[in-house]
Amino acid sequence: MRFFILLVMTLPLFSCVEVNVDDLNEFVVKTKSQIYPINDKVPALKKIDAMVFTQEEGRNPFSEPKAEVVAPTKNTPKSCPQPNFERKKQPLEMYSLDNLMMQGTLRINDELWALVQVSGGELHKVKPGYYLGLNHGKVLKVTKNKVELLELASDKDGCWQERITQITLKSE
């Protein structure tokens, strides 16, 4: 009942307002009188050869890629550098360097950290001494534009070769 009374009392307020809609009517008439060209030319479709996807040919494109794993080689000569297989693996050692991108740097307590993004979008902080990549890459130095790594790569004889690699800052 209150609602009905409120409605009855407010309705006359809106009916007393004098509205000038001449410009609106003029715009509607002008818009309706314009002729818009219709383009009936439909572009010719190019023939596309369909490819049949079978699971045997590759991974499902809608699933996350699996982490790559490197198996340690046995019977390696002790004269060449050896990775520490007893050391606990860090999270970024599950990804190849191709799946890691440097996104920027961060200074914490006068120490420069690099921000490294994995292929899934997750962001990690790294500093010298951290490990990343499949080839036992140890972070040697972090600068504003790159992360320098010392990697150990196995050769055909089972010996490990040291090489310096780097991940550069992703340019926009």
Average pLDDT estimate for 147-171: 85
Residue 5 parent element (H or E): helix 2-15
Per the CB < 8 A criterion, the answer to whether 68 and 93 are in contact is no
3-state SS class at 124: strand
Confidence check: pLDDT of 113 > 90: yes
Question: CA–CA separation, 77 vs 80, rounded Å?
Answer: 6
pTM: 0.54
CATH 3.90.79.10 fits 81-168, yes or no: no
The domain ranges of the chain are 81-168
26-58 pLDDT, tens digit per residue, is 999 999 999 888 888 888 888 888 877 666 766
Q: Residue 55 has what pLDDT?
A: 67
Q: Residue 30 has what pLDDT?
A: 92
